[in-house]
Amino acid sequence: MGGLLFGYDTGVISGALLLIKKQMALGSFQEELVVSAVLIGCILGAAASGRLADKIGRRMTILACAGVFCLGSLLAGLAQSLTGLIAGRIVLGLAIGVASAVVPLYISELSPPKIRGALVSLNQLMITIGIVCSYLIDDLFIAADQGWRYMFLMGLIPSAVLGAGMLFLPPSPRWLINRGDNQKAEGILARINGRAEGRAQLESILAQTAADRADGPTLTAVWLRPALVLGIGIMFIQQATGINTVIYYAPTIFEMAGFKSDAAAVWATIGVGLVNVALTVVSIRLVDRWGRRKLVSIGLLGMVASLIALGAVFIMTGRPDPIWKWLAVVALGCYIAAFAVSLGPVAWLVVSEIYPQAVRGRAMSLATLANWSFNFLVALTFLSIVDLLGRTGAFWLYAAIGIIGWFLARRYLPETKGISLERLEADLRAGRSMRDLGRAD
């Protein structure tokens, strides 16, 4: 539900904006404010998430988040002025920022290593489903009087489900052990993994916590730096290869390619969303079998090839042969598919795995802060880059960043498939290179 709200509340604005613009007679700057308010909230929420998750725990943080999601949906849905609407969108952003960091962190700490990849990636699946739901709900209310209010208010349903659901879930055993509550942690580990395996995990987490206590790692510890840089780096590549230009601007891109009708734009957008969902399912099936490295490597190659093709198609569109605009559709579909099997889920997965227990909350918060900041920058600059470099130049720029990402991933991305979080931490502490974390000696 946390992922669903992430996707829903970022996606819902595309339809809501069309109605708000008319009703409130917004100028383009005010329009940009309504859209970007949520991203500003996300940046603030991501920055605060780590301290919160370490202090009150992952479960309580998500529970609080559900309350903030409700509040934001109400504020935005019932807003009587532009200021009220912007305030509501910032509050929603705060909740998204916190949830985007803490939900994968919580799932990762709760999961048995063998299926951790699939379980954490379920969060990404819910993000993509949330995005599609937002398009469908927008479509449902687009003709209603003050329809935008219902669009925001619908967010109340998953927020309430998230809050109610969290009441039945246990706290993270790793967080409990960090606080010295070993007995409760053992019960939870046994419930998830069975008694014997739960006991073994408890021992290994205890040993790791003892090591942490001995040298109390902080975010500034030298041995932690490579992991911090990797986390920020993978978020940069995830965002700077342009995913959200497609998610936010799909209709604009299709218009550029020569599709003129509104219906075509709507179907294009829903189609993009569905491909995103379908291929995320494929990724979930593969991530614990093929591993993270293989998926990122193949996915990035696919993204680069599609971006190059998309750029090339824009040289040809405008010519009489309609084949070019259909090629743009194919290239965009392949691009989304390649993202959905690789960087979409794997970026969030890897940052939920590579940090040591004592600072996992704060380190994850830093990576998430980076994600939202790059997201904001790319959204802000896309149209100016198109003005500056042309459509072809813009997509080729994203392709160039993808090529750099491919080389960096080959060199630095660890294979965390099936490896326990404690083993990863021990390797990091021992000064192993990022690429070698979790590798057999």
Q: Which residues bind ligand BGC (CB under 6 A)?
A: 124, 127-128, 238, 243-244, 247, 276, 344, 348, 371, 375
Q: Which is nearer to ligand BGC, 193 or 368 (CB)?
A: 368
Q: By C-alpha distance, which of 367, 270, 268 is closest to 326?
A: 268
Q: Least distance to ligand BGC from the beta carbon of 153, Å?
A: 22
Q: Least Å distance between CB 7 and ligand BGC?
A: 7
Taking the CB of residue 122, how many other CB atoms lie within 10 A of it? 18
Q: What is the nearest approach in angstroms of ligand BGC to the Cβ of residue 107?
A: 14
Give whichever of 227 and 246 is closer to ligand BGC, judged by the CB atom: 246
Q: How far is the CB of 435 from ligand BGC (least distance, A)?
A: 23
Which residue carries 């967010």 as its tokens?
A: 155
The residues, any chain, with a CB within 8 Å of residue 251's CB and separated by 6 or more, are 265, 266, 268, 269
Give me the residue whose beta carbon is nearest to ligand BGC: 344
Closer CB to ligand BGC, 79 or 243, in the complex: 243
Shortest separation between residue 48's beta carbon and ligand BGC, angstroms: 18
Cβ 371 to ligand BGC, closest distance in Å?
A: 6
Decide if 174 contacts 204 (C-beta within 8 A).
no
Indicate the residue among 124 and 178 with the shorter CB distance to ligand BGC.
124
Which residues, listed in sequence order, are joined to residue 317 by a DSSP beta bridge?
Answer: 319
Q: For ligand BGC, which is the closer residue by CB, 24 or 408?
A: 408
- Dig out the tokens for 256 from the structure: 């550029």
Say which amino acid occupies 424: L
Helix 82-110 and helix 343-351, axial crossing angle in degrees, nearest 10 = 70
Helix residue ranges per DSSP H, 167-224: 173-178, 182-193, 195-215
Cβ nearer to ligand BGC, comparing 77 with 344: 344
Rounded CA gap, 272 and 310, in Å?
A: 15
Task: Assess contact for 341 and 298: CB atoms under 8 A.
Answer: yes
Residue whose CB is less far from ligand BGC, 189 or 253: 253
Nearest distance in Å: CB 96, ligand BGC: 10
What Rg value do the Cα atoms of the chain yield, rounded? 22
Nearer CB in complex with ligand BGC: 373/420: 373
Contact 241, 405 (CB under 8 A): yes
Give the whole-angstrom CA distance, residue 204 versus residue 210.
10
Contact predicate 244/379, CB 8 Å:
yes
Confirm if 274 and 132 have CB atoms less than 8 A apart.
Answer: yes
Whole-number minimum distance, CB 293 to ligand BGC, in Å?
18
CB of 136 to ligand BGC, least distance (A): 16
Half-sphere exposure of 377 (CA within 13 A, CB side): 13
Whichever of 10 and 111 has its CB closer to ligand BGC, that residue is 10
